[in-house]
Chains A and B, each alone.
Chain A
Amino acid sequence: MSVLGFHNVSKRFGTNDVLRGVSLDLQRHDVVCVIGASGSGKSTLLRCANLLERVDGGDVTLFGQSLLDPRIDENLVRRQVAMVFQAFNLFPHLSVLQNVMLGPVHGLKRPVDEVREEAMALLERIGLVTRAGDYPDRLSGGQQQRVAIVRALAMQPALLLLDEVTSALDPTLVGEVLELLRELALEGTTMLLATHEMGFAREVATTVAYLDQGVVIEAGSPEQLLDAPQHERTQAFLSRVRS
């Protein structure tokens, strides 16, 4: 069943065509990695999936339903499509636990006690239960990003969007975040990632798509795309990344 579909999506900022006819489909349990240079439109594509951006042309569907429908409630969409950001974007005035609880309590309007229990279980899972009362600025970058990931998971989303979640991290801290994502992939979490981590993409992706200047140049299984790219722009990009 199709969870998310981009159908010939285009997006402009002023005179800048960021996306020019992107089509991509995510089935349940898919892990799709979008790779490409900075400015290729990866982040914009992800933001179109939870309506942080509105597409200018084409269509985006969630469970087959168009997100362009004027009757659609963007808050309802975002409660099903959670997002993790490159710069974590944790709330500095809230404790770690409160960060994780904010969405379920104030977005989903679920009872506080129930949410707290789940949030503690999530923190337990990432080994940060003892830091529940700390403020985010006391945590390392890797810890902060893992908290941001479970903050998204606390929404029990149908789809997780991850926007270059390891790019702002110290190289020594990338591992712990990727490890968590690997676990999530094994559990069958449907994920759409914009990433520069080729090794990770090869290991967990069901599909890798190469985006360049707002166009999907090539998409396929990691083996196809990363080991035997058909298109010369893909080949050029991969050799730049590997060199």
Chain B
Amino acid sequence: MAVLGVLSAVVFYAPGGVAFRHFFFDPHQMWISLVGSHQGLASVGKGIVTNIWMFCLCEVLVLVLGLLLAWVRISTAPVLAPLRALAMIYTDIFRGIPILLVFIIVGFGLAELNIGWISHQTPAFYGCVAITLTYTAYVAEVYRAGLHSVPHGQILAARSLGLSHAATMRQVILPQAVRTVIPPLLNDFISMQKDTALVSILGIVEAVQSAQIDAAQNFNDSGLVVAALLFLVMTVPLTRLTDRLIDNDRKRRLAGTS
């Protein structure tokens, strides 16, 4: 609260405060960039819909693929050794490359390759592929940590009850692992929601791109602030939810030890 107060005081009393408010917080400009206008202004409100469906789709894909990748990485069967090596290389690569480069390489590279239907998709498709590739690597590591956090005695107990490997995973390991990984998983999703803004580099007119079009036509950046506010509306509830889950988990642990 105090920080907000100081910030607004700066905005109001700085020598360039008036110009700043005009460029970034002009209510009229903010409104028309939110809804769009007949003079060809892009709508940030419409743009954000693109961001939303992209991360909704990617979250589902990442949840499934990340789990598969983690499963491969924690496997111990000797026959899976080559697959484990591949999974490790994959994780290294996609956690190591800035996501912006992944967008460019996937978005322009795949189209350039000219191989059948893969090279004839929309930019949004490539955007989703790039996000999914990158975040699968992150989320797999989160899952892996969660799966490893389940005590070995749990596995011994489940196996002793005649449960198969698969049933042990499903009934005993996963339910416990998921509980521990939900907060870090949500954390990655918050970050993913914001990274959907980067698909603008592929020419997709999502929220940030729309705001930039407005800014270029109007010499006014208020649309960018609108985009920022819309992202906050999406990420803040998720952040609060994460906080609450972490808090509940901590309380549960404390209660368990007493």
Contacts and interface: CB of A to CB of B under 8 A. Distances in A.
Contacts of B255: 137
Interface stretch (A9-17, A84-92, A232-240): A84-92
A89 B157 contact: yes
A76 to B, nearest CB: 8
Contacts of B172: 91, 102
Nearest to B256: A137
Given A52-B156, A89-B153, A89-B154, A102 B161 contact: yes
Contacts of B179: 93
B162 A103 contact: yes
A82 B175 CA distance: 23
B122 interface: no
Contact of B167 (A82, A106, A151, A155): A106
Contact of A52 (B159, B164, B175): B159
B192 to A, nearest CB: 27
Contacts of A83: 156-157, 160
A93 B161 contact: no
Contacts of B159: 52, 78
B119 interface: no
Interface string A193-224: 00000000000000000000000000000000
B50 interface: no
Interface string A62-102: 00000000000001101100110101011111000000001
A150 B55 CA distance: 47
Given A52-B159, A102-B171, A106-B171, A75 B153 contact: no
Contact of A103 (B163, B176, B256): B163
Interface string B66-87: 0000000000000000000000
Nearest to A91: B172
Nearest to A106: B167
A112 interface: no
Given A91-B172, A106-B171, A137-B256, A85 B156 contact: yes
Contact of A50 (B153, B160, B164): B160
Contact of B176 (A52, A85, A93, A152): A93
B168 to A, nearest CB: 9
A108 B162 contact: yes
A160 B176 CA distance: 27
A75 B160 CA distance: 8
Interface string B138-160: 00000000000001011011111
20 contacts: A52-B159, A78-B159, A78-B160, A85-B156, A85-B157, A89-B153, A89-B154, A89-B156, A91-B172, A91-B176, A92-B176, A102-B161, A102-B171, A106-B163, A107-B167, A108-B162, A137-B256, A151-B161, A152-B160, A155-B162
